């Protein structure tokens, strides 16, 4: 099982509490994890990746195993600790003050 | 017309703010208010609006710089909400599902227009990019049909309760699109007015392109900006390029339109074919909001703002100005409103009127106050003082 941690606003939108767990067939990549996430929680489509380009939204980052994976290719395998469920895949809202 | 004497009459105000939505309810006396919220906490709620034919059906535009656009829908008057299409069960078709927040410009050969460019602030070509929904306008006849005005400027339509959207591409592609440019708030389509006497006629307004009208249900559009004069564009009387802030109409006279432009308050008596200025004795004719009395189509309300460089009320006094003569002659309405040290703004979609016999007028400020008048503006009370900055105010008059 893949563990995914969402920002608070997306947890509220998806009506989930803590971590989300997903069944993801190999290979476990950013794309396959986010595809599985959007299938389970359709209301999240477009909130993490652009609907058309499927690119990560600019104010979101992807972390795992204390590394920033935001700029890794979406089809690159995620660390073994993520694919084995030892570590979560983190979707993080960038720290931007806003108004 | 609903009577204020009917005990069951209720007024429901839908307030969109920078940090969530609020619903304010009262009986027909409009003296005591119940405040519910915040809903969608932390998100910008640009607009909420209920269906005229099913007031329990309410649509909301929920948006965020981080997470993009979400459309919310309520079927019980705002008690519970759902993202339309979000209840689709996992399965082989799940990835092909409609998405209520999917606003994609139509570039198909059969129904769309090529994706050209508009002008950026510096006058250079800039591609169209969807950013957010500014305004939702439910159909006058079908609760599942709703229009969305978006940034970058375009109009979308849904006929399945906001589950999926398609662009009415004739507007963006009618010919002047490459000349459109953003206002300070972005290149937003912020006003949609449906003509109750002709279901094929729709008016829209864009900052900073101007006003447009369709007479065939959204297939073809034309600019309706003759008579506007804007010194901030190279040709002050150009066909497009005017920063129209808001347009209002009384449903009983759908050919008569009132406009708050960047500067100038304007009026058209022929469905936008020609405009003339009605600023008259206003202390300043810059502003954002404008609305019309529910039963007196010559009674108009504006809130003058000091200038384009100082977006707060004139003389540090919050004054609604009312004209009972269709413009030119304006009176300040001040009873119950702060008359010193006030530096708020009232944004373009942040005023509404109810339909009770004694017309109620409501507006919200960037300081977080929502004011109500149960006597057509003669006196005002703050329903709430300390909300986040108010982006929009709509009112529903319920039996």
CA pair distance B240, B118, nearest whole angstrom: 12
Q: Is B167 exposed, middle or buried, given 0-12, 13-18 or 19+ CB atoms closer than 10 A?
A: buried
How many CB atoms neighbour CB B178 within 10 A?
Answer: 12
How many CB atoms neighbour CB B129 within 10 A?
Answer: 11
Say if residues B240 and B225 touch (Cβ distance below 8 Å): yes
Contact residues, chain A, for B102 at CB < 8 Å: 45-46, 51
Task: Give the pLDDT band (50/70/90) at residue B113.
Answer: confident
Mutate to test the interface with A, among B17, B40, B63, B66 (most CBs of A within 10 A): B66
CA pair distance B283, B271, nearest whole angstrom: 27
Task: Give the pLDDT band (50/70/90) at residue B19.
Answer: very high
Give residue-wise pLDDT tens across range A14-73. 999 989 999 999 999 999 999 999 999 999 999 999 988 999 999 999 999 999 999 999
Q: List chain B domain ranges.
A: 54-344
Instruction: Give the count of domains, chain A.
Output: 1
DSSP state of B183: B
CA pair distance B63, B47, nearest whole angstrom: 10
Q: B18: nearest CA in chain A? A: A99
Residue A25 forms part of a structural domain? yes
**The 3-state secondary structure of B16-32, one letter per residue:** EECCEEEEEEEECCCCC
Give residue-wise pLDDT tens across range B342-391. 999 999 999 999 999 999 999 999 999 999 999 999 999 999 999 999 99
Do B95 and A35 make contact, defined as CB atoms within 8 angstroms?
yes
Residue A70 forms part of a structural domain? yes
B295-320 core/surface letters (b: 16 or more CB in 10 A; e: else): bebebbbbbbbbeeeebbbbeebbbb
Beta bridge partners of B14: B23, B394
Q: A92: nearest CA in chain B? A: B66
Residue A18 forms part of a structural domain? yes
Kindly state whether B104 is in contact with chain A, defined as any CB-CB distance less than 8 angstroms.
yes
Indicate the CATH number for domain B54-344.
2.130.10.10
Q: A6: nearest CA in chain B? A: B67
Mutate to test the interface with B, among A21, A45, A98 (most CBs of B within 10 A): A45
Long-range interactions of B163-167: CB distance < 8 A, separation 24+: B163/B84, B163/B85, B163/B98, B163/B100, B164/B85, B164/B98, B164/B99, B164/B100, B164/B102, B165/B100, B165/B102, B165/B103, B166/B106, B166/B111, B167/B103, B167/B104, B167/B105, B167/B106, B167/B112
pTM for this model (two decimals) = 0.95
Alpha-carbon gap: B67 to the closest alpha carbon of chain A (Å): 4
Tokens of residue B308, six digits: 């384009």
Do B67 and A98 make contact, defined as CB atoms within 8 angstroms?
no
Assign residue A54 the CATH number of its domain: 3.10.20.30
Beta bridge partners of B48: B60
Residue A69 forms part of a structural domain? yes
Give residue-wise pLDDT tens across range B294-324. 999 999 999 999 999 999 999 999 999 999 9
DSSP state of A35: H
Which residue among B64, B94, B99 places its CB closest to the CB of A39? B94
Containing structural domain, residue A72: 2-93
């Amino acid at each position: 099982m893949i563990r995914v941690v969402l920002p608070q606003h997306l947890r509220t939108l998806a009506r989930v509490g803590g971590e989300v767990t997903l069944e993801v067939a190999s290979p476990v990549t950013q794309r396959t994890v986010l595809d599985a996430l959007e299938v389970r929680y359709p209301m999240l489509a477009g909130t993490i990746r652009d609907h058309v380009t499927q690119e990560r939204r600019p104010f979101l980052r992807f972390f795992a195993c204390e590394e920033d994976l935001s700029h890794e290719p979406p089809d690159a395998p995620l660390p073994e600790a993520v694919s084995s469920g030892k570590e979560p895949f983190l979707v993080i809202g960038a720290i931007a003050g806003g108004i | 017309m609903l009577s204020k004497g009917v005990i069951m009459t209720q007024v429901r105000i839908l307030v969109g703010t920078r940090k969530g939505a609020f619903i304010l309810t009262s009986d027909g006396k409009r003296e005591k208010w119940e405040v519910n919220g915040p809903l969608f906490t932390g998100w910008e709620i640009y607009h909420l609006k209920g269906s005229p034919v099913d007031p329990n059906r309410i649509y909301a535009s929920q948006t965020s710089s981080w997470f993009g656009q979400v459309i919310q829908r309520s079927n019980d008057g705002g008690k519970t909400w759902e993202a339309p299409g979000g209840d689709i069960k996992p399965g082989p078709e799940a990835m092909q599902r409609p998405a209520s927040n999917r606003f994609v410009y139509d570039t198909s050969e059969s129904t769309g227009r090529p994706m050209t460019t508009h002008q950026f602030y510096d006058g250079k070509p800039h591609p169209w990019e969807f950013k957010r929904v500014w305004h939702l306008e439910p159909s006058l006849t079908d609760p599942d049909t709703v229009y969305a005005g978006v940034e970058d400027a375009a109009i979308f339509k849904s006929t399945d309760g906001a589950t999926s959207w398609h662009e009415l591409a004739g507007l963006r592609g009618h010919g002047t699109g490459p000349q459109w440019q953003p206002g300070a708030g972005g290149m937003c389509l912020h006003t949609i007015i449906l003509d109750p006497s002709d279901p094929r006629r729709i008016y829209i307004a864009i900052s900073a392109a101007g006003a447009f009208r369709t007479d065939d249900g959204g297939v073809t559009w034309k600019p309706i900006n003759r008579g506007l004069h804007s010194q901030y564009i190279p040709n002050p009387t150009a066909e497009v390029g005017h920063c129209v802030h808001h347009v209002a109409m009384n449903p009983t006279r759908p050919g008569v339109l009132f406009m708050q432009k960047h500067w100038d308050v304007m009026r058209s008596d022929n469905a936008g074919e020609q405009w003339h200025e009605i600023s008259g004795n206003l202390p300043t004719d810059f502003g954002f909001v404008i609305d019309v009395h529910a039963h007196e189509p010559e009674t108009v309300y504006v809130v003058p703002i000091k200038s384009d460089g100082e977006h707060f009320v004139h003389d540090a006094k919050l004054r609604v100005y009312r004209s009972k003569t269709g413009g030119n002659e304006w009176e300040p309405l001040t009873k119950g409103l702060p008359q010193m040290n006030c530096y708020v703004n009232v944004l373009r979609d942040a005023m509404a009127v109810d339909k009770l016999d004694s017309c109620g007028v409501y507006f919200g400020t960037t300081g977080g106050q929502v004011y109500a008048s149960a006597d057509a503006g003669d006196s005002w009370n703050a329903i709430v003082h300390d909300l986040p900055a108010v982006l929009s105010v709509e009112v529903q008059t319920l039996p």
